[in-house]
Amino acid sequence: MASLVRVSATGLRTLDDLGDVAGQRVLVRVDFNVPLDDGAVADDTRIRLAIPTLQALRERGARLLLVSHLGRPKGPDPQWSLRPIADHLAGLLGEEVVLAPGLGDVPAGELVMLENIRFEAGETKNDPALAARLGALADAYVNDAFGSAHRAHASTEGIVHHVERSVAGLLFAREVQTLARLLDEPRRPLVAVLGGAKAGDKIGVINRFLEIADTLLLGGGMSYPFFAVSGRRIGRSLCDEAGLEAARDVLARPGTEGRLRLPVDLVVADDFSADARLRVSDPIDVDDDWEAIDIGPRTRELYARAIREAGTVFWNGPVGAFEIEPFAAGTHAIARAVAETEAITVVGGGDSGAALTRFGLQDRVTHLSTGGGAALEFIEGRVLPGVAALTGP
Ligand code: ADP
Ligand code: MG
């Protein structure tokens, strides 16, 4: 195993540690799991984000073998072929991308993409035999798929044990460094905004921010169980047993008061549809046939002010059902405040990212994470197998 110099505070090995790759084959794990529409790439954000790493390696003379998954096929399935993605990448780069149909048939070439790695049964089982076959195809391994780093799969973890050199790509390293800085040395005050449908899903993230953040602003469906366990009426608002349990847990923790903030008013609707009747519930007291759908105007103002006064902001999860136009005002107000604050801003989560994009604010944040579940697990403090594999000398 070649010795690698540690350059970053996180101990993650990066492209700077890779050494000479001229004329060598580098296997690059990318996250090209993009939405398709009628066989064409519907959103190529993830593909574009990987290009700096691919270009950096090409400039150093490497021959690239790209490996990605797409969807969740249970074996070879033409519906989940990477063909449209190879074609799309070829268009972006202005050069040919050869699609290799399988591990046994990988042509030499400057730019080769392996067919969907989930066509191999051993991928999600982290089968050592598959990992060894992948490793045998490469002189070095670069992982730029942070969104898959919370899974120990053959192409994200196993392969590292079968190549001499393995490092994180530029996007992967940026994700880890940004999140590590947010957790370890944030510019204060650190304000976290957590929304989304369910508190039960994000209890680990809530608890972590109660430890490290100066202020935690809750919104969206995940806030309603907190009202329910405090004896408020929440009508038909989203709330399940796991959410109630999470809320009881959080409220029983010492130090929660003073850090945790809940909405002071809510927009409530008599139906989950664009033509529902709406009103503001202030103080919070929701009639039996109504349901909370968004934060109210006073909460928008209070949360926006906390975001404006922050040194660092982390935002995950819409604070209302923003996909439906009349219920988007709260999430729009949060997105605008995050875009306008002087703070360092980190946004994680598929739906929060989609909300930012929908409001045209995706370029107005310091870092928009592609990590999804991986970013949330990192924040919870879990060891991500894909990160651990690339950490250390
Ligand atoms: P992310 O993908 O950013 O992590 P989540 O997946 O946790 O976010 O939650 C996003 C979903 O939560 C959105 O689809 C949004 O519509 C929904 N949501 C938030 N608040 C409400 C609400 N009051 N009622 C129904 N759905 C809500
Ligand atoms: Mg989501």
- Per the listing, tokens 């010492």 go with 254
For ligand 1, say whether the CB of 221 is within 6 Å of any of its atoms: yes
pLDDT at residue 19 is higher than 90: yes
For ligand 1, say whether the CB of 122 is within 6 Å of any of its atoms: no
Residue 249 near residue 294, CB atoms below 8 Å: no
With bands split at pLDDT 50, 70 and 90, how would you rate the model's confidence at 9?
low
Rounded-to-integer distance, Cα 19 and Cα 4, Å: 9
Residue 168 near residue 52, CB atoms below 8 Å: no
With bands split at pLDDT 50, 70 and 90, how would you rate the model's confidence at 323?
very high
Rounded-to-integer distance, Cα 42 and Cα 99, Å: 20
Closest CA relative to residue 390, chosen from 21, 94, 136, 11: 11
Rounded-to-integer distance, Cα 243 and Cα 223, Å: 9
In this predicted model, which residue has the larger pLDDT, 1 or 92? Answer: 92
Query: Which ligand 1 atom is nearest residue 198's CA?
Result: 7
Taking residues 50-73, report their average pLDDT: 97
pLDDT at residue 1 is higher than 70: no
Residue 165 β-bridge partners: 140
Taking residues 212-219, report their average pLDDT: 97
pLDDT at residue 2 is higher than 80: no
For ligand 1, say whether the CB of 238 is within 6 Å of any of its atoms: yes
C-alpha 332: how far from chain center: 20
Cα–Cα–Cα angle for 388, 375, 21, rounded to 5 degrees? 50
By alpha-carbon position, which residue is closest to atom 7 of ligand 1?
196
* pLDDT of amino acid 7: 38
Taking residues 271-292, report their average pLDDT: 97
Mean residue pLDDT across the chain: 95
Beta strands in 120-189 (DSSP E): 140-143, 165-168
Q: Who's near 148: CB < 8 A, 6+ residues apart?
A: 29, 31, 69, 156, 374, 386
Closest CA relative to residue 292, chosen from 279, 305, 310: 279
Rounded-to-integer distance, Cα 76 and Cα 78, Å: 7
With bands split at pLDDT 50, 70 and 90, how would you rate the model's confidence at 257?
confident
Half-sphere exposure (Cβ direction) of 116: Cα atoms closer than 13 Å: 22
With bands split at pLDDT 50, 70 and 90, how would you rate the model's confidence at 355?
very high
Ion ligand 2: residues, Cβ under 5 Å: 350-351
Rounded-to-integer distance, Cα 134 and Cα 138, Å: 7
Q: Is 74 annotated in the active site?
A: no
Q: Is 46 annotated in the active site?
A: yes
The secondary structure of residue 222, as a DSSP letter, is G
pLDDT at residue 200 is higher than 90: no
pLDDT at residue 51 is higher than 60: yes
Could you read off the pLDDT of 129-179 as tens digits, one per residue? 999 999 999 999 999 999 999 999 999 999 999 999 999 999 999 999 999
With bands split at pLDDT 50, 70 and 90, how would you rate the model's confidence at 113?
very high
Single pTM value for the model: 0.92
Rounded-to-integer distance, Cα 17 and Cα 149, Å: 20
Taking residues 358-384, report their average pLDDT: 94
| Token pair listed for 146 | 């942070």
* pLDDT of amino acid 102: 95
Q: Is 350 annotated in the active site?
A: yes
Q: Is 91 annotated in the active site?
A: no
Least confident of 78-87, 208-217, 318-327, 348-357: 348-357
- From 13, 63, 118, 198, the catalytic residue: 198
With bands split at pLDDT 50, 70 and 90, how would you rate the model's confidence at 350?
confident
- From 350, 358, 364, 382, the catalytic residue: 350
Taking residues 82-95, report their average pLDDT: 97
The DSSP bridge pattern shows strands 25-29 and 140-143 to be parallel
